[in-house]
Amino acid sequence: MATHTFTLNGKQISVEAEGNVRLLWVLRDLLGVTGPKYGCALEVCRSCTSHINGKAFNPCSVQVKDIEPDDEITTIEGLPATVGKDLHPMQQAWLDNDVSQCGYCQPGQIMAAVAKVKQAHAEGHEITDADLDELRNICRCGTYSRIREAIKAGAQDM
């Protein structure tokens, strides 16, 4: 086994794991970070969406050996710390818009939404319906209209 070092939710960590183990399993099984959910392991459902160096990615599709020591990984557990509050504005918007039903996909939905809003702001515009159409996270409960409204609301406070 090899030692893999990277930043997770603002803290430098080292973990012993075989290099070909998917990062999702390292996060969940070895590090106890259960926000990213297992759904497909094919980068289709996107329930594991997290951030690497500020951009959305799916840990189910990345082997831990491909994570560099200077990579910064943020999961839903570390999202509030990025704004220095108990809840990130997108999480608060989720609550305010009563989005969650079963809740399984919500961490991935929120992480994808935050990355998309940041991308829109970096491009110099507010979040648009076209931006929202690019989000492909699956919600089996079908709360897509509330998800879209929550993203628009959360974007106002980001």
How much is the pLDDT for 43?
86
pLDDT in tens, 95-154: 999 998 888 999 999 999 999 999 999 999 999 999 999 999 999 998 999 999 999 999
The CATH number covering residue 105 comes to: 1.10.150.120
Mean pLDDT of the chain: 96
Give the residue from 79, 97, 105 showing the smallest Cα distance to 158: 79
Provide the pLDDT confidence category of residue 41 given band limits of 50, 70 and 90.
confident
DSSP state of 59: G
> Does residue 124 share a domain with residue 86?
yes
- pTM of structure: 0.95
Please say whether the beta carbons of 99 and 150 come within 8 A: yes
Which residue range is the domain that position 23 belongs to? 2-75
Beta strands in 85-156 (DSSP E): none
> Does residue 127 share a domain with residue 87?
yes
How much is the pLDDT for 42?
87
Residues 6+ apart with CB under 8 A from 46: 39, 58, 105, 108, 112, 136, 137, 138
Given 44, 75, 106, the domain boundary residue is 75
Q: How far from each other are the two terminal CA atoms of the chain, in whole angstroms? A: 41
Given 13, 48, 75, the domain boundary residue is 75
